[in-house]
Amino acid sequence: MVTQPRASKLFAIAAVCGLAAVTAGCGGDAIPIANPKGPVGLAERDILFRAFLIMLVVIIPVFAMAFWFAWRYRATNKQARYEPDWMSNRIDAVAWIVPTLIVIALAYHVWTSTHALDPYKPLESAGKPLEVQVVAQDWKWLFIYPEQGIATVNEIAFPSGAPLTLRITSDTVMNALIIPALGGQIYAMAGMQTQLNLLADEPGTFVGRNTQYSGDGFADQHFTAKALSEADFEAWVAAAKQAGDTLDATAYAALAKPSSKHPVTYYSSVEPELFVSIIEKYDHGLMTHGAMAAE
């Protein structure tokens, strides 16, 4: 039989080991949100961690008192006072005031921090900005590079250290795009355009996905995001231009048909204003965010 002091010691060791395991896991690439590779992801992680620390103000005392009460008022402790009828204005005040202050602190922290991370807000960097038009389909992602005149399916590449602007729409039901290692999540909606600005601090390969359930192929609707050096990005563009396939209206109609686990595909040229035409076919008097901002 394990004695009480020994049991407490074993519990403490187990708790420390568990905390070390969790911390080690958060430091690896298995949890990209906890190990961000860009300023947006880092800011979002810090918001999460600070909110967690604020909530610990009430969580830690609750768990501590739960264990202390169980030990203090155990059946074998004959010295504990039995007071079934008592009232304490001080305890009532703490029980109400402390949670209220925590909620106020959380509300202020989340409000100010999330507004500072406006996804439409351009990111400052010495690198040359890159714009990519993104179309959510069943069940794949299409990336159009208007400046380079190419398009890809289920793969996006961009220079590290340079601002990346994603202009996003959907040619199907609502989707939600996120690259966890870089941060940000924003919805893709038919007939509308949303925007997300990201930046990768260093070269790397990340996973992007759809987080909004969209039907049978939802589980496999992910893509590869490659942050490359400037030279490697230019080489990647040059290789895409050698693909030989053109993304015109006919090719796009075939691509837009539902398909799961679609292989990475490159198009050496794209029909002009294809992205705009995808949005406008759902237009029933609505305006895109960009059009409204232009007025």
Considering the domain architecture, whether residues 265 and 191 belong to the same structural domain is answered as yes
Q: What is the model's pLDDT at position 244?
A: 82
Q: Are residues 73 and 177 in the same domain?
A: no
> What would the mean pLDDT of 84-97 be, rounded to a whole number?
84
Domain boundary among 56, 91, 116: 116
The pLDDT of residue 256 is above 90: yes
Does the residue 256 lie in any domain? yes
Q: Name the band, by pLDDT with cuts 50, 70 and 90, for residue 284.
A: low
Return the pLDDT at 268. 96
87/201 same-domain check: no
Cα–Cα dist 234/230, whole Å: 6
Note whether residue 290 is domain-resident. yes
Distance from C-alpha of 79 to C-alpha of 283, rounded to nearest angstrom: 76
CATH number for the domain harbouring residue 205: 2.60.40.420
Residue 264 within a domain: yes
Distance between CA 207 and CA 41 in Å, rounded? 14
The three-state secondary structure class of 76 is coil
106-165 per-position pLDDT tens digit: 899 888 888 888 899 888 888 899 999 999 999 999 999 999 999 999 999 999 999 999
Three-state secondary structure call for residue 247 = strand
Statement to judge: residues 159 and 281 lie in one domain:
yes
Chain segment 1-59, per-residue pLDDT in tens: 444 445 444 444 444 344 444 444 444 456 887 889 999 999 999 988 988 888 888 88
Residue 3 is assigned to a structural domain of this protein: no
- Residue with the bigger pLDDT between 291 and 103: it is 103
Rounded Cα–Cα distance for residues 138 and 216 (Å): 9
Answer yes or no: do 161 and 221 share one domain.
Answer: yes
Reported residue count of the chain is 295
pLDDT at 59: 86
Residues 184 and 287 in one domain: yes
When mean pLDDT is compared across 67-71, 133-137, 242-246, 289-293, the lowest value belongs to 289-293
Q: How many domains does the chain have?
A: 2
pLDDT at 295 over 70: no
Higher pLDDT, 71 or 289: 71
pLDDT at 12: 40
Q: Specify the pLDDT at position 29.
A: 59
Residue 246 is assigned to a structural domain of this protein = yes
What is the model's pLDDT at position 278? 95
Do 270 and 193 sit in the same domain of this protein? yes
| Same structural domain, 172 and 288 | yes
**Which regions of 128-174 does DSSP assign to beta strands (E)?**
130-137, 140-145, 150-153, 155-159, 164-170
247 shares a domain with 135: yes
Whether 150 maps to a domain, the answer reads: yes
CATH of the domain at 61: 1.10.287
Q: Is residue 245 part of a domain?
A: yes
Domain-embedded: residue 28: no
- Say if residue 243 is in the same domain as residue 171: yes
Q: What is the arrangement of strands in the sheet containing 183-188, beginning at the earlier edge strand?
A: 155-159, 222-228, 204-210, 175-179, 183-188
pLDDT at 32: 82
Which residues does 208 contact at the CB level (< 8 Å), separation at least 6?
Answer: 141, 156, 177, 178, 179, 222, 223, 224, 225
Mean pLDDT of 206-224: 94
- Within 8 A by CB and 6+ apart from 71, the residues are 77
Do 211 and 282 fall into the same domain?
yes
User: Residue 77 sits in which domain range?
Assistant: 33-116
Give me the chain's average pLDDT, please: 85
The mean pLDDT of 257-274, rounded to a whole number, is 95
Report pTM: 0.77
Residues 289 and 143 in one domain: yes
> Pick from 116, 146, 175: which residue ends a domain?
116
Where a domain ends, among 73, 91, 116? Answer: 116
193 vs 73 pLDDT, higher one: 193
